[in-house]
Structure 1
Amino acid sequence: MSDLLASIYPWTKAFHIVSVISWMAALFYLPRLYVHHTEAIGLEGETHQLFTMMEYKLARVIMRPAMLATWFFGVVLVFTPGIVDWSAIWPWSKAAAVLCMTGFHGWLVQRGKSFSSGRNSLTGRQYRLMNEVPTVLMIVIVFSVVLKF
């Protein structure tokens, strides 16, 4: 099994990177939609319904599959021999940041449910601040993997 994982390593890494890029794009864009939904649209009317549908499809059709693919290919990389040195700090800092990113993903999905039910309680400013969360986590992940501290 380890020979197979080693032989497909470049493909696994490429699919992991593509999945991460897709997931990050959605994690960056969805809070921006929430900002506009909050500040310009409100919680009723045709445009509210349009935004709710766009947010739902972004979360379910793009963000969720990208997250699942990221996790799948990431776990395959973890089990590929010689890729992860668990005695170093970097895999632990990356793992913690990925878990936080997954939690943020879940939080965004919950916020989408609050919009669709007409009960959003956050302001555009709060969504703008939360939009920085994936950026900070991405920095931790990239620096962990590239610098391998």
Structure 2
Amino acid sequence: LNGKARKYFYSTIFRGREAIRVGDCAVFLSTGRPNLPYIGRIEAMWEGWNGNMVVRVKWFYHPEETNGLARRLRHPKGALFDSPHLDQNDVQTISHKCEVLSWEEYRAIHRIRSDESCADVYYLAGCYNPYEKTISIKPSLTL
């Protein structure tokens, strides 16, 4: 193992006062997509041999990104689909944390919080595979 191959893994990093941990969901910087921000679950974070901090992300997809496959979804607002899509990005692309909840938790939060305080709260509606163009929607959420 030479020096260039070394990675130093982190379970938590701090951005100002916000602690961002492996397993957290986050909004990632995206230009030109204010209504469809990139949302992902942080799988790993490390510092490479060159000092750059890297994050491995498992991406969620919005219903609008499923090529029409989510049209049977009863409540598209706030919905996200889990996916097998993984990639690596600079840690600086993390904007802030968000919440991805079950449908039941999402509805309960919306009953007690204002719409503004729910801006970064989403629910998991099922799974979407962008490679195979297949979708699985939780049966209780379909029309």
Band the TM-score falls in, shorter-chain normalisation? under 0.3
* Higher Cα radius of gyration: 1
TM-score, scaled to structure 1: 0.26
Structure with greater strand percent: 2
TM-score, scaled to structure 2: 0.26
**Higher RCO structure (Cα 8 Å, ≥6 apart):** 1
Structure with greater helix percent: 1
